[in-house]
Amino acid sequence: MRTLMIEPLTKEAFAPFGDVIETDGSDHFMINNGSTMRFHRLAEVETATPEDKAIISIFRAEAQDMPFTVRMLERHPLGSQAFIPLLGNPFLIVVAPVGDEPVSGLVRAFVSNGRQGINYHRGVWHHPVLTIEKRDDFLVVDRSGSGNNCDEHFFKEDQLLFLAPHQ
């Protein structure tokens, strides 16, 4: 079993999987007569067809026991999916590159600083939300429309990944 090293979440490191949604280092301009700073277009909502809709939801997540074994990853082939923490808490992100199925040796783990959200690009393999806190809330922006938009892949026993507790 391979142990995943948890990396700090940065725009550069996460670029193969999607966008980091944060104000630090992001372009901005002033609006509302100079009273508001707009950090513009931090991520794009991807949808597969013109009939699809971008939707906004709130997910309330429960923490998993640590250490944690990564047994499965999912992907959304018809749209992107963004997670923005509402309570300012760091959270864990486990991802693998786009492909027919995730490759165990290419899986990476990141930790948000609690002020960063993420936007998974269409087809990026990822674990469902992994909160560090006992319970946490996330604003989620994703796609609604016809067709199956969630594929799951379960790893064989010799491909399972171990996620150590975050320090």
161, amino acid identity: L
What's the CATH code, domain 2-163? 2.60.120.480
- Mean pLDDT within 8-20: 97
pLDDT reading at 167 higher than 80: no
Domain boundary assignment for the chain: 2-163
> Mind listing the pLDDT tens digit for each residue in 29-38?
999 999 999 9
At residue 96, the 3 state secondary structure works out as: strand
- What local confidence, expressed as pLDDT, does residue 24 receive? 93
Kindly give the residue spans of alpha helices, DSSP state H, lying in the chain. 11-14
pLDDT reading at 66 higher than 90: no
Query: What's the N-to-C CA distance of the chain in angstroms?
Result: 21
- What local confidence, expressed as pLDDT, does residue 119 receive? 98
- What local confidence, expressed as pLDDT, does residue 1 receive? 78
| Cα-Cα-Cα-Cα dihedral sign, residues 58, 153, 103, 130 | positive
- Mean pLDDT within 41-50: 95
pTM of the complete model: 0.92
Show the tokens assigned to 91: 């959270």
**Mean of the per-residue pLDDT values for the chain?**
95
Q: d(Cα 114, Cα 133) in Å, to the nearest integer?
A: 11
pLDDT reading at 122 higher than 70: yes
pLDDT reading at 166 higher than 70: no
Which regions of the chain does DSSP assign to beta strands (E)? 2-4, 6-8, 18-21, 29-31, 36-38, 53-62, 68-70, 72-75, 81-85, 91-96, 108-111, 117-120, 125-126, 130-131, 135-144, 151-154, 161-163
Q: Which of 38, 2, 8 has the alpha carbon at shortest distance from 118?
A: 8
> Mind listing the pLDDT tens digit for each residue in 134-145?
999 999 999 999
pLDDT reading at 113 higher than 90: yes
